[in-house]
Structure 1
Amino acid sequence: MFQIAIYGKGGIGKSTVTANISYILSMEGKGVVQIGCDPKHDSTRLLLGGRTQNTVLDYLRETPKEDRSLDDVVFEGSGGVRCIEAGGPEPGVGCAGRGILTMFDFLDSGGLDESDADYKIYDVLGDVVCGGFAVPLRKGYADAVYIVTSGEFMSLYAANNILKGLLNYDDGRPRVGGLILNSRGMNGEYEYVRNFANGVKLPIVSVIPRDPLFADAEASGKTLAESYPDCAAVESLRRITEDIVLRSSNPETLRYPRPLSDDAMDMVAKGIPVSGEAMMEYNRVRNPVNDCWSLKTCAGMGAVAYSRMVRGVHTIVHGPTSCAYMMTCRTDLRTVFRDHYGDGRLVSQDVSCTDLDDSASVFGGMDKLRDLIRKRASYGDEWIMVISMCVPGIIGDNLVDVCAEMSKELGVHVMPLTVDGIGAGGASDGIRAVVLKQTELVDPHNDKDDRLINIMGEFRSATGHMSYLDRSVISLLKDAGFEVNSIFPGHCNLEDVRRFGKAAFAVRSYDERNNRITCEMVCGRLGIKLMDNTLPRGMRATEKWLDEVSELTGRNLEDVRSKMRNEYAARLSSIRKRTEGRTAVVVTHPSSDYGWLFELLDDLGVEVLRTRQTTFNRWLVGQAACEDKKPYSSSTTEADAQELSPDIVISDNMADIGLGVKHWKITQPSPGLEGIIDLAERLGRAMDAPGKEAWR
């Protein structure tokens, strides 16, 4: 008898998949026993005409020990599949995991293993990682494990935990069959799951399409394979049974569990390609480089970072003090809020915390939240955003109802955001969640003004962190026929958010995947046209941006293009006298777009002798170490300078300043013509400066 455990996050559809697998195998003449290991006891419902059967735990509770018989809890379903349900304790009482252990003890003592079945299939809840639900992973039970997942991060997170559990019960033989993708119909779902599958070195055995026939079959109390045996979805289910039959005949072709580390799972959440072997090596072997991987990101961190940018909306961190401490990046919550406002406000005026402690896991944190909301309302805060961390998510605090209750009681606007710390994914997921929540503050505007444009996101320039509009951006937008309506998301005030919907157009301040996704979601929700091109840096990008403006608005901007082109050439001609014929070594971040820099160097007549990329983040440092590659360091730049003798090293690595060679620190220019010319002038001055002073 070949034993199979089907695991997956609750609600992922594993019971439906399992019942169909059992039915298909039975129709092929196989003897099948299906055991539901979920307190909901609905695993075998579709095999029993829609009925739920008496569970083992109910039977054991009601039947004296001397009267118990295995036959009383085994029911025959469609195709002759023998059905067993574990059940669970009363809601809120007892431990369901312990109930699974009790069931297995009864089945073993009753002689279930002595039955003549070809396959025994366990349908197991996979997002409960306690020992009881891990029983089917133990030696002597599952010969093969298949994991049902979808393109949602938490289903992959549960899948990774299942692999960790299987690793803990590793008996030296491969036991993982692969992943089963039960599609939700999301864009990019297959690619998202494929990234995880590549990381853990597992195949996607089958992709089950989202099909309304599943609901039709379930409404009649039958499996899809019984109701619609010839549909495409059943073909995908048959691929699973074919794989099961193949693995049962050749168990050596199964795979070993290779779960990913927490950092690697964060990469999965962000859509960054991962290497399962590299990440597992860090789980197995301590490496000095691993020490720099301790920083974690969570949805709560991203949400708080963007929530606190909106002046006029107070942010409550519903969680431990440590969460608020990390997310405000300050030594304490009374430290001066140093941002572009420059008004000396305290962090505690814009961010506060419910300071949950151990008692919250027993008594909940809702009373503390109510008290803090009342306190903030007494200080005059009329708009409050409450962001939940991991602790309230775990203990089940009902954030939505409490916020509604307090809004009604106090007459203020209390907005809940239940990201539950890392529960919604990484920081980028939290950013998207809070920005979309903030769109609820936008006033409705049916008539959009095509003279107005919104700037979306912060940007950096040669003068530092630009949260405001400088002359270069204002000049660029004015020449294109626009006035700035608001800047959001980013540092702004409540009124900026509320009038966001007036503008017909929006432009991103920089090009980055997560920012692009967020901006597309916001503009799609509010009916605003988001430009494909970001605020441009460099002359060629500016011309491309003006072309898009002309296409969108019908404005003739040829005179503007000509004026900019002539001014660019004229102003660069005087700078070129200091730069033409000079040489440079360029060191850049691997994830940023420096097309504007190389364009500028070419226009100034600077020859680039060599380019390098810095290993600027922990992911690349770890990858380089795993592959026995030496990470980039300042000594690399020094060696390049000694070998090539460039006139200047242009680098985004501040550590290169002290190398004894002329160094110029790369900074992003402001968008528009003025920004790139200002940068060119600074580079020209750096060429003439003494070697150790050029960076200034």
Structure 2
Amino acid sequence: MRIAIYGKGGIGKSTITANLAAALAERGKRVLQIGCDPKHDSTRLLLNGKRVMTALDYLRDVPPVMQRLSEVLHTGYKGVVCAEAGGPEPGVGCAGRGILSTFAFFERLGLKTEDFDVILYDVLGDVVCGGFAVPLRKGFAEIVYIVTSEEFMSIYAANNILRGVQNFDESPYRIAGLILNSRGEAEDQKKVYRFSKAARLPVKYTIQRSSLFRKAEELDKTVVEAFPESSETKLFQTMARGFFDDNKLFPALPLEEEALERIVLKGEQPDKDKKIVHHVSGIKSKEKEKPGAPSASDQENRLPASTFLSKSMLCREPLHGCAFTGAICTTTQINGSISVAHGPRSCSQIACQTILAGGLRALYQKNVIIPEQLFPSMLSSDMNENVVIYGGMDDLTEKLRQAVAAKPQAVFVLTTCPAGVIGDDAESAIRIISAEHPEIPVIPVTTDGNIRGDYMQGVLNACMEGAGSFIDPCCKPEYDLVNIIAEKNIANNAETNFAVISNLLNELGISVNCRFVRRTSIEALRGFLKGRLNLPAFNDHFGRVLINFLQERFQISFAQNAFPVGFYESERWLNEIAVFFEKETEAERVIGLFRKEYRERMEPFRKALEGKRIMIITYIHDTDWILETAFDMGMEVVKVCILNYSQDNLFRTRYPGRFEVETNYPPQKRDDDLRRLKPNLLLCNYTPQDLPLALHADTIPLCPDVGFYGGLAFAGRWAALLKSPVKEGWKYESEKFA
């Protein structure tokens, strides 16, 4: 049983919840209690007054790679497992967002709810923002009890809780009833019973005012533990039995404010002869248009939120970009789909510019037209200040209706920072649209702007939750087909590199089945498992995460070597594929042709570069293609400096001992190393500034040209660069006037 106990702050819901947990545990039930209140005191009485590490403090202080669920789960009285969400100090931050982050944390680390007989969520009921509705979502809480007293503000809060349940509840029957924690005399209790009758909810249990609660709290214990023979303890034991024996649930029927005041404050009796105005949520009424219709997004193959993290998330580096942008740059690569951005128009414009930039670079520099990037298929819900204050579910629902009206093969929903901060539940809008159009899959992708991570995390989530949800596990491998994974959509040479790889495969009689995820289609994704072998474009952290995900989910085969750059890697790559497909003879013929051509092309560059000294400073950890090119040209590599950065964390080389190497290189050492080693050429990922001596410098591309001649293209640049003067003439002139 999953039970959420809501109530106004200070109403006593934490005391009631803790005593109930103790009573359930005494009956032999395995109980988990999660406190969803910034005061983080829900479980204190179960832990003898101990204040525990909250989930939010733990998330803040511990790197993701070191996080363990056991660190935020604490065992209390009679084995009750306790957890506290925590929250910010009063006056700062957003406690509702904290609840969202806590539940995402529990999901990511795999909280096993099936290990418990009862889960109790102790939830603050004063605040009605989306974060505090989290226990109602995704099946976290099946049953809701509302704690109230005779005070009008307590009843007012109870009514607001009913409104929150109505807004976010996907089930028409979720409320078990009211728990009256009495503060006054019997006459005052009539207010609660009038509200109960009007809201059509029973008062299930009444807890009378008692000094034993104060005495037990002074002992840092529950009444159940401190005074086991008391009438108060017997009441909680009765409640514990009743929670299992009485399973009747009721719909949330909150009252309009005028009716609430008329009934509670003025004492008007709610009866059949007098009209009671119940509040009706706009979201709920729309959801009722097609009740019971199947949701296309709830397909069996639907993936949970990703537990695979980008390197910057694992290493707690500053975020490199935004998860929303990374995800939308990926989903827009899927032909026949529409990506709907739930957020301000500016977020969509920035993401669109990022997509267009790659398409325009490919067009201008490579003369390659990429329609997915020149004309990205995306819509925005155009959140504004009013939406941020009051919620944007109506706007998102209408934008999704606009998307499905275009009859796409799929719709992806991606949320920005504002949507994540205010706790908009995009999945409730998705359920509405899926009920209206069950034939069109509507797939949410976890982003929330950069709340859920950086650009690369967004790409990973889009690949796994979005594209991965379409893979048909029933497809069987076909002999001469391969898939390509982990191409980088931001690379302006991605299409020319794909053409090179495709041509090499064609030489062996092998075709590409699906690109995961670039310039692909829903049909290709569904048939992903037709590929007998999967070829990673990169073996960096991004590539390895995707490999681990696909292997874990589908148990498929991968080539060990990534897209090759240079002759050695290309020969090794082609031979590996040839062995897998039993095409060694074809591979030997192709490699022989390229070897002759490579030697002929190499000679002019070698004459210009032989004997020159080269130094490398890079965050790219796989540098062998650069080293191979330098050594083939007869150059001397004086030092390789590996920066710690988000692309990778595993330096490797097949040339050990042939040069000086330093990993985790501190950039401030650069100038001293340049003066000491005096290279002719410096290679960096970005154009270096303020060099301490005159020398030539070139940039290392994030995604180099692949194939047998990839290194030669780079050598041609070096040869041309070294022929030019180290300093331009105008700079010499400027020194005369210095």
Quickly name the TM-score band, shorter chain normalised: 0.5 to 0.7
Q: What letter is aligned with 1:316?
A: V
**Shift of the alpha carbon at 1:320?**
3.8
Residues 86-133 of structure 1: per-residue CA shift (max 9 Å, x gap)? 999xxxxxx9668969x99xx9xxxxxxxxx9x82447794589xxxx
| Counterpart amino acid of residue 569 in structure 2 | A
Distance 1:465 1:403, change over 3 A: same
Q: CA deviation at 1:368?
A: 0.7
- CA–CA distance in structure 1, aligned partners of residues 41 and 576 of structure 2: 62
Report how far residue 373 of structure 1 moved.
Answer: 1.6
Partner of residue 150 from structure 1, selected from 68, 71, 79 = 68
2:48 corresponds to which residue? 120
2:696 maps to 662
Does 2:77 align with 1:48? Answer: no
- Pairwise CA distance, 1:270: 4.8
Residue aligned with 1:655, SS: coil
- From 672, 676, 682, the equivalent of 1:649 is 682
CA shift, 1:632, in A, is 2.2
Q: CA deviation at 1:534?
A: 0.8
**Equivalent position of 1:233 in the other structure:** none
Contact 1:472 1:675 (8 Å CA) reproduced: no
Deviation track 1:561-585 (CA, whole Å, cap 9, x = no partner) reads 4544454344324432222222222
Letter in 2 for 1:679: F
Q: Is the 1:302–1:427 Cα contact (8 Å) retained in structure 2?
A: yes
Deviates further, 653-662 or 474-483: 653-662
Contact residue 307 and residue 434 of structure 1 kept, 8 A:
yes
Shift of 1:610: 3.2
Once the two structures are superposed, residues 46-101 of structure 1 have per-residue CA deviations (whole angstroms, 9 ceiling, x without a partner) of 64124799xxxxxxxxxxxxxxxxxxxxxxxxxxxxxxx9999xxxxxx9668969
Kindly indicate whether residue 525 of structure 2 is the aligned counterpart of residue 507 of structure 1. Answer: no
In the other structure, the counterpart of 2:618 is: 588
Secondary structure of the equivalent of 1:646? coil
**Does the 8 Å CA contact 1:336/1:345 hold for their aligned counterparts?**
no
CA distance in 1, matches of 2:34, 2:314: 40
2:617·2:643 contact (CA, 8 Å) conserved in 1?
yes
State the secondary structure of the residue aligned to 1:534.
Answer: coil
- Secondary structure of the 2:641 match is strand
Aligned to 1:409: 436
Aligned length: 475
Corresponding residue of 2:400: 373
- Which AA in structure 2 matches 1:673? F
* Pair 1:152–1:679, CA change in 2 (3 A): farther
What is aligned with 2:383? 356
How much has 1:604 moved relative to structure 2?
Answer: 1.3
Asked if the contact 2:53/2:84 (under 8 Å) is kept, the reply is: no
Of 308, 324, 327, the residue aligned with 2:332 is: 308
* Contact 2:40–2:54, Cα closer than 8 Å, also in 1: no
Equivalent of 2:717 in 676, 682, 685: 682
1:399-478 alignment runs, 5 A limit: 399-410=426-437, 413-417=440-444, 419=446, 421=448, 424-436=452-464, 437-442=466-471, 446-459=475-488, 464-469=492-497, 472-478=500-506
Residues 378 and 336 of structure 1: CA distance in aligned 2, closer, same or farther (over 3 Å): farther
8 Å Cα contact 1:37/1:87 also seen in 2: no
Query: What is the distance in 1 between the residues matched to 2:423 and 2:493?
Result: 39
- Return the alpha-carbon distance in structure 1 between the equivalents of residues 543 and 665 of structure 2: 32
Question: Counterpart amino acid of 1:44?
Answer: A
* Residue pairs, 1:19-34, within 5 angstroms: none
Aligned to 1:532: 560
Amino acid corresponding to residue 541 of structure 2 in structure 1: R
8 A Cα contact 1:302 1:426, kept in partner: yes
Distance 2:726 2:679 in 1: 12
Q: Which residue of 2 aligns with 1:484?
A: 512
Query: Where does residue 317 of structure 1 map in the other structure?
Result: 341
Match of 2:573 in 1: 545
Q: Could you say which residue in structure 2 is the equivalent of 1:56? A: none
Call closer, same or farther: CA 1:573–1:345 in 2, change over 3 Å: closer
Residues 457, 509 of structure 1: 8 Å contact kept = yes
Q: Within 1, Cα distance between the matches of 2:16 and 2:547?
A: 41
C-alpha spacing 1:535/1:345, structure 2 compared with 1 (3 Å): closer
Residue 713 of structure 2: SS of its match in structure 1? helix
- Kindly provide the amino acid, as one letter, of the partner of residue 721 in structure 2: A
Q: Report if aligned partners of 1:586, 1:611 keep a CA contact under 8 Å in 2.
A: yes
Distance 2:17 2:346 in 1: 35
Which secondary structure does the structure 2 equivalent of 1:654 belong to?
coil
Distance change >3 Å, CA 496–CA 339, structure 1 → 2: farther
Amino acid at match of 1:598: L
- RMSD between superposed Cα atoms in Å: 5.3
Q: In 2, distance between residues paired with 1:164 and 1:662?
A: 52
Residue 505 of structure 1 aligns to a residue whose secondary structure is strand
Alignment of 1:239-258 (within 5 A): none
Contact 1:417 1:434 in 2 (8 A): no
* Cα separation, partners in 2 of 1:692 and 1:452, compared to 1, 3 Å: farther
Look up the match of 2:413: 386
Separation of aligned partners in 2, 1:271 and 1:682? 36
Give aligned-pair identity as a percent: 20
Following superposition, the deviation at residue 412 of structure 1 comes to 5.9
**Paired amino acid for 1:351:** M
Distance 1:473 1:154, change over 3 A: farther
Q: Is the 8 A contact 2:533 2:559 kept in 1?
A: yes
Superposition TM-score, scaled by structure 2 size: 0.52
Q: Structure 1 residue 508: deviation in Å?
A: 0.9
- Structure 1: distance between partners of 2:405 and 2:106: 45
Kindly tell me: are residues 38 and 689 of structure 1, through their superposed partners in 2, closer, same or farther at Cα, counting changes over 3 Å? farther
Describe the superposition over 1:433-483 as per-residue Cα deviations: whole angstroms up to 9, x where unpaired: 32122133346763422312222122599x943235455323432344422
Unaligned 5+ runs, structure 2:
3-12, 58-65, 74-81, 93-104, 119-307, 363-367, 650-663, 729-738
Does the alignment pair 1:672 with 2:694?
A: no
Aligned counterpart in structure 2 of residue 517 of structure 1, from 524, 545, 554? 545
Equivalent position SS for 1:507: strand
What secondary structure sits across from 1:529 in the alignment?
coil
Q: Does the C-alpha gap of structure 1 residues 459 and 334 become closer, same or farther in structure 2, counting only changes over 3 Å? A: closer
Shift in alpha-carbon separation, 1:128–1:681, aligned structure 2, 3 A: closer
Please, what TM-score do these two structures have when normalized by structure 1? 0.55
**Match of residue 601, structure 1, among 630, 637, 645:** 630
- Inter-CA distance 151–338: structure 2 relative to 1 (3 Å threshold): farther
CA contact (8 A) 2:485 2:537 kept: yes
Measured in 1, the distance between the counterparts of 2:606 and 2:666 equals: 35
Q: 1:382 to 1:438 in 2, by over 3 A?
A: same
Structure 1 residue 530: Cα displacement: 1.9
- Cα pair 1:449 1:504 within 8 Å, conserved: yes
CA–CA distance in 1 between the matches of 2:310 and 2:505?
Answer: 38
Residues 88-127 of structure 1 aligned to structure 2 (within 5 Å):
120-122=48-50, 126-127=54-55
Could you say which residue in structure 2 is the equivalent of 1:572? Answer: 602
